[in-house]
Structure 1
Amino acid sequence: MSGIQTIAKLASEKLPLVLSTVGAFLVVVILQYLLKGNPIAKIPIVGQHLGSDEKRRQAFLMRARDLYVEGYTNFKNGVFRVITAQESNVIVVSPSFLPELKSLPDDVLSFDGAISETMHVDYTHLQIGNKAVPHMIKTSLTPALVRLNPTISEEVKEWFGRELPPCDNWTSVNINHKLLRIVGAVSGRIFVGADIARSEEYLDMAINYTVDLMKARHAVDGMKPWLRPFKANSIPEVQQLKARLKSAEAIMRPIVESRQREAAEGNTEKPDDMLQWLMDVQGSTKFASNLSTERLAADQLGLTFAAIHTTTLTSTNAFYNLAADPSLADMLRTEIRTVLAEHNGILTSQALQSMKKVDSFLKETMRFDPVAANSFQRKVLRPFTLSNGQAFPAGVILEVPAHAVSRDPEVFPDPDRFDPLRFYHLRQQAREAGHVEAAAQHQFVSLSPSVLTFGYGRHACPGRFFAANEIKMILANALLMYEIRLVEGVKERYPNILFGSGSMPDPTKELLFKKLV
């Protein structure tokens, strides 16, 4: 055999081994490079035992709350990853880092960037990023509540009379359905004025936009991320939402154009509602932005969604808690009557602040059944590193495990027990110890790393003061007008429905109402 033939034979025998060795070496080198270059590669993933990211994503859609609790239990003071319905990597951080995170500027941690992904704005077209809206809420709506609260209270009372049947005897009522209309109408009174808000056309738009938006969001959640750009726009839920947006514009157009004409004609008597405030603030040089009918309609829908969604969920949860324990109604009703007697029977801002047991009951309702398992969602736009050395690259989304924190026995003793006076007692203890600021932290509207329903930091819900007042008025009016209990045969509070990271009271359930004599 010639030398060339010998070499050829050896090569044919050894080449597979050589290639295999070289291939393995390259894989190791690439993995080392990726692990070294990717700061999140070493962050543990919850649900590792499930085997694949797609299985973890499906598990998230079915039982996200359990995954957050698992991660928080195992990595309480650190960070962990959750495979969610979002396209970006999601990293869950301990609430102990919130003071650091909330101080970072928006060009590092973006609230709008996270909401854009969470709500799938490419398909739902939810209006975000308009700085005029939170500015208007903080500078116009919240200061006006002292003046508006008696009007809001009367609106709540009137709509309870409109929506609930006589209830002379025990009467079955789907309270979630009724609350959607009550909250929609009462919020609309402040958003666009009484005449418009009381029309069925407006109510249908406000309520069903919120319903359609959440249906579209959950439908897109259920799709594989890589498939969304090709099919999400054509699914029935997204198409229905698009139709709702067009009808909303048709409703808002004549209202906006009428107000614009009156302003052009020099009419200085402007309506006292959020639509007018928004038109005024968007027309300023500081917030020079589009005043088109489409933009104003989209802004109004965004406000409507924010107002109706969380307010209705929290109120329904509160009613389910009241019905499950009639002694709660007696205790809260006594406080409401006492406070009203001290304020000439009017639900003023001061009267609402004096209802400390009502306040505690509502905060405990939010703690026990938060609307989501996660909170403080932010998208990282520029890399940064926490004080503990953990680095985060651009493109990831950060969250805090709100539900898991609220059920941590080190944060709240006996956390799995619903204690309506939990925060009432915490406020009392703090005041008795001379800790005024600590006492304030236990109010319904206060921002805290342990109860995150309203968020945290400068992007916390700006409308929480309006929402809190509205919920208290709804509760107060209901308790002064009705007895409330579970339907016959039901012995325990209705369990909430869990989907993805969300939690909602079952909207199909009914309660029994009877008018107080």
Structure 2
Amino acid sequence: MSFPDISGTPLYGVAETAFKWLFYGFVAYCIADAVSTWQLVNTQAEHPLVGSPLALVPRFILNLLYSWRSTNLAQKGYDKYPSKPFQLIRSDGRVVVLPIKLLDEVSRIPSHIAESTAALERDLLGSFTGVGLILESRLHHSIVQRKLTPRLPLLLPRMEAAVTSAFEKNFPQGEEWTEIQPYKVLSAVSSRLSAEVIVGPSFCENPEWLHIAVEYTESLFRTVVALRCLPAWTHPVVSRMLPSYWMGQRLLRQAQDLLGPKVQELLDKNNTGTWQPQDDDPEDLNVLAWLAALAKGSERNADTLGHVLVLVALAMVHTTLLRMVNVIYDVTAAGPALRDELLEEIAGVAKRGWHDNGDPYEALDKLDSVLRESQRMSPPTTMGMKRWFKEAYTFQDGTHVRAGTYACMPVYAIENDPAKLPDPERFDGLRAYRAARETSDPEKARLFKFSSPAPDFLNFGYGKTACPGRFVAGVVVKTVIVKALTDYEFKFLPGTERPGNLIAHEFLFTWPWTKMLVRKKQKATCPF
């Protein structure tokens, strides 16, 4: 097929002129973007820039470097400047990476000066994903802390029944080796288990809610990863071109329509004084009911509370699913010795009476150690202790952070520092278990628990601002792993080894389509 020769024609001249102007415009934009970066870096010139030897570089180039090499850049800065802050550049501005010596002070800074939720909202592009609600409502935070965590013992039997049901529905039940996609099947398990806690009996088996809980999370991260590769000024236009953006909006409205009538019914009953959630009523033992009872003022709105429930599902499903998949990978890769130790521990607790001596999952110290080690090597995010500074602040050592600065700590580099942790590149499932037993102080021993933030374990935060959902996450993951290890066997496909993870920006993901082999054991020994 031949094309007509338009050289020398008026059309060719128009095309040539348009191309020249596009080229000149791009050059002008690069210059302006580079000058903007230079000005940004030099407003806090005392913090060295990592990622470029020069500050006069277009921001979109430094942002692309951050998008795909943020973990390496943070590691480079941590190695070069272990005791002082340094800067990274991304599309929405500078990131000031703080040294570990400031940890205690960062954790104590009042929220009116530096706020963690505002930093999270910026990470997840709240105005484009629906996460912006966390800036207006902290209700979900107090519900998890004051209602959900203290009532976990009451919820355990229902959670275990949900896990059993989800495994029977989503895992192969035959004794021959069968290919599965761990991410896909465990996402179904995670959403079903989380639904028991979040929306209760009314919706926990509703296929529409289970679909929303998984797909909203995936749509959100597709949108975030794509948009954050581009300059911030493009987001309002480009977001509307992304199928994931529209999918997220649709799923949010769908959740509000699904949950709204039930939420409104409870609000009305609560308003008239005819209903308060009771711990002995399964219909009331869930986040939905507690939200309806405790919401105040403008939060007492069915659409707002439906929105909050979707964000609670986002937090619970994403973090627990990532942990479940990686623990299965890590235990399988470690070989039969570690698996057998875990099974022996589970059997020992079951022999004493699974629910007869308090929380059985609290007694699984070896499994707890595996979860902690797995999260050290495969954390949900490689940056932590994130804060958005609404006011300027000077630390006690003289470090100054300007108002309007995003700051964080390189938690992956900190947790994998070979100067503090022997052989950090090796998965050692019982590392924390042994460390806890080397001290005679029970309080120090507790610092090695999966749900206990420590200066060398920061993915849940630190101090009073540590994630309130970490206890729930620990129980959810342990429930699933106990079921998986006692009733099933896993192995990688022939000729393959432990699958790696993907890192985009500071987020870590597992590859959804990875396959492995599983079969039901001839003799299942699950204690529930």
Question: TM-score band, normalised by the shorter chain?
Answer: 0.7 to 0.9
Deviation at 1:154, TM superposition (A): 2.1
Deviation at 1:290, TM superposition (A): 2.1
- 269 and 107 in structure 1: CA distance in 2 versus 1, 3 angstrom threshold: closer
Matched, 1:326 2:335: yes
Alignment of 1:294-305 (within 5 A): 294-305=303-314
Q: 2:124 aligns with which of 119, 123, 126?
A: 119
Alignment of 1:193-342 (within 5 A): 193-263=200-270, 267-268=274-275, 270=277, 271-283=284-296, 288-327=297-336, 328-342=338-352
In structure 2, stretches of 5+ residues that fail to align are 1-38, 278-283, 523-528
SS in 1 for 2:519: strand
1:225-264 Cα deviation digits (max 9, x unpaired): 2222444345332222111211111111122133334446
User: How far, CA to CA, are the matches of 1:451 and 1:193 in structure 2?
Assistant: 32
Alignment of 1:278-427 (within 5 A): 278-283=291-296, 288-327=297-336, 328-342=338-352, 344-346=353-355, 350-427=359-436
User: How far, CA to CA, are the matches of 2:412 and 2:76 in structure 1?
Assistant: 11
Deviation at 1:398, TM superposition (A): 0.7
Query: 1:463 aligns to what?
Result: 469
> Does structure 1 conserve the Cα–Cα contact (< 8 Å) formed by 2:172 and 2:518?
no
SS in 1 for 2:110: coil
In structure 1, stretches of 5+ residues that fail to align are 1-33
Identity %: 26
- 269 and 47 in structure 1: CA distance in 2 versus 1, 3 angstrom threshold: closer
SS in 2 for 1:194: coil
Q: 2:95 aligns with which of 90, 103, 106?
A: 90
Query: 1:139 aligns to what?
Result: 146
Query: 1:41 aligns to what?
Result: 45
User: How far, CA to CA, are the matches of 2:183 and 2:145 in structure 1?
Assistant: 29
User: How far, CA to CA, are the matches of 2:228 and 2:100 in structure 1?
Assistant: 26
Q: 1:428 aligns with which of 431, 437, 442?
A: 437
User: How far, CA to CA, are the matches of 2:493 and 2:333 in structure 1?
Assistant: 10
Q: Which moved more, 1:373-382 or 1:318-327?
A: 318-327
Query: 2:187 aligns to what?
Result: 180
Query: 1:475 aligns to what?
Result: 481
Query: 2:12 aligns to what?
Result: none
> Does structure 2 conserve the Cα–Cα contact (< 8 Å) formed by 1:340 and 1:347?
no
Query: 1:192 aligns to what?
Result: 199
User: How far, CA to CA, are the matches of 1:348 and 1:131 in structure 2?
Assistant: 35
Query: 2:525 aligns to what?
Result: none
1:329-366 Cα deviation digits (max 9, x unpaired): 22211111111111x23497531111110000000000
Q: 2:443 aligns with which of 437, 447, 461?
A: 437
Q: 2:108 aligns with which of 90, 103, 126?
A: 103
Instruction: Name the amino acid aligned to 2:348.
Output: T
User: How far, CA to CA, are the matches of 2:444 and 2:172 in structure 1?
Assistant: 43
1:186-231 Cα deviation digits (max 9, x unpaired): 1111111124110111111111111111111112212212222444
Instruction: Name the amino acid aligned to 1:418.
Output: F
Please list every run of at least 4 consecutive aligned residues from structure 1 whose deviation after the TM superposition is greater than 6 angstroms: none
- Bigger RCO (CA 8 Å, 6+ sep): 1
User: How far, CA to CA, are the matches of 2:439 and 2:365 in structure 1?
Assistant: 14
User: How far, CA to CA, are the matches of 2:177 and 2:442 in structure 1?
Assistant: 44
SS in 1 for 2:468: coil
Instruction: Name the amino acid aligned to 1:48.
Output: S
SS in 1 for 2:90: coil
User: How far, CA to CA, are the matches of 2:180 and 2:110 in structure 1?
Assistant: 47
User: How far, CA to CA, are the matches of 1:291 and 1:456 in structure 2?
Assistant: 31
Q: Which moved more, 1:269-278 or 1:374-383?
A: 269-278
TM-score relative to the length of structure 1: 0.88
Query: 1:56 aligns to what?
Result: 62
User: How far, CA to CA, are the matches of 1:349 and 1:61 in structure 2?
Assistant: 45
Q: 2:174 aligns with which of 164, 167, 171?
A: 167
Instruction: Name the amino acid aligned to 1:45.
Output: L
- 349 and 218 in structure 1: CA distance in 2 versus 1, 3 angstrom threshold: farther
User: How far, CA to CA, are the matches of 1:484 and 1:114 in structure 2?
Assistant: 39
Query: 1:70 aligns to what?
Result: 76
Query: 1:20 aligns to what?
Result: none
Query: 2:515 aligns to what?
Result: 510
Deviation at 1:379, TM superposition (A): 0.6
1:427-457 Cα deviation digits (max 9, x unpaired): 00122xxx22221110000011211221223
Query: 2:16 aligns to what?
Result: none
Q: Which structure has the larger Rg?
A: 1
1:9-46 Cα deviation digits (max 9, x unpaired): xxxxxxxxxxxxxxxxxxxxxxxxx89x9661221111
- 235 and 506 in structure 1: CA distance in 2 versus 1, 3 angstrom threshold: closer
Instruction: Name the amino acid aligned to 1:499.
Output: A
> Does structure 1 conserve the Cα–Cα contact (< 8 Å) formed by 2:227 and 2:238?
no
User: How far, CA to CA, are the matches of 1:378 and 1:260 in structure 2?
Assistant: 34
Q: 2:501 aligns with which of 488, 493, 496?
A: 496
Deviation at 1:272, TM superposition (A): 2.1
TM-score relative to the length of structure 2: 0.86
> Does structure 2 conserve the Cα–Cα contact (< 8 Å) formed by 1:384 and 1:391?
yes
User: How far, CA to CA, are the matches of 1:46 and 1:268 in structure 2?
Assistant: 57
Instruction: Name the amino acid aligned to 2:423.
Output: D
> Does structure 1 conserve the Cα–Cα contact (< 8 Å) formed by 2:330 and 2:427?
no
Query: 2:14 aligns to what?
Result: none
SS in 2 for 1:48: coil
User: How far, CA to CA, are the matches of 2:117 and 2:290 in structure 1?
Assistant: 23
User: How far, CA to CA, are the matches of 1:347 and 1:326 in structure 2?
Assistant: 31
- 264 and 49 in structure 1: CA distance in 2 versus 1, 3 angstrom threshold: closer
CA RMSD of aligned residues (A): 2.1
